[in-house]
Amino acid sequence: MDNETLQAWVEQVSRDSFGRPFLHQATFNRRLRSTGGRYFMRSHDIEINPKQLETFGREETEKIIKHELCHYHLHLTKRGYRHQDADFQRLLAEVGGSRYCSALPGQTKRVQPYRYKLVCRSCGMEYLRKRKVNPAKYACGKCRGKLFIKMLDFVLEP
């Protein structure tokens, strides 16, 4: 499927499900990884992940299109267009859009390994951290002793 076909499909879904026209651009974006689609508030354009269409078919992709069109129509009518807004949740349920897209195969959540260890000088209590922190700002939660940082030679998985 190409971008012109997607554009016609989005326009048709907008007319059929929302009763309003879609007047902006809808395109495929292969670089999307963790999402099925996205709506741009400044340009009002919509991007769809073509891998969702290839993997899960037209029905799931149409639910993603409805999700993005909910953002689109609510934003243009100056109503609650964010995920947590009641207007968005109500409209999404009415049109049958999906709240979340299905995870693509091979797309696992990236786990950040622990790289740093804070060690208490008094009692030896250890705290694992993914990011480097300033130990002078913190104290041991067990004995209130001073901490020092030790970078791990190996990577610990959480």
Confidence at 108, pLDDT banded by 50, 70, 90: low
Taking each helix axis as running N to C, give the angle between helix 58-76 and helix 3-13, from 0 to 180 degrees, rounded to the nearest 10: 60
Residue 125's SS3 state is coil
For residue 60, indicate whether it is catalytic: no
- Count: domains in the chain: 2
Residue 101 lies in a domain: no
Residue 136 lies in a domain: yes
| Global pTM exceeds 0.85 | no
Domain enclosing residue 22, as ranges: 3-95
Kindly state whether residues 18 and 66 are assigned to the same domain: yes
Kindly state whether residues 79 and 119 are assigned to the same domain: no
Cα-to-chain-centroid distance, residue 108: 13
Residue 105 lies in a domain: no
Higher pLDDT, 106 or 33: 33
> What span, in angstroms and rounded, lies between the C-alpha atoms of 31 and 45?
16
Q: Which of 4, 47, 62, 68 is catalytic?
A: 68
Contacts for 52-55: CB closer than 8 Å, 24+ residues apart: 52/101, 52/102, 52/104, 53/1, 55/102, 55/104, 55/105
**Does position 81 have pLDDT exceeding 90, yes or no?**
yes
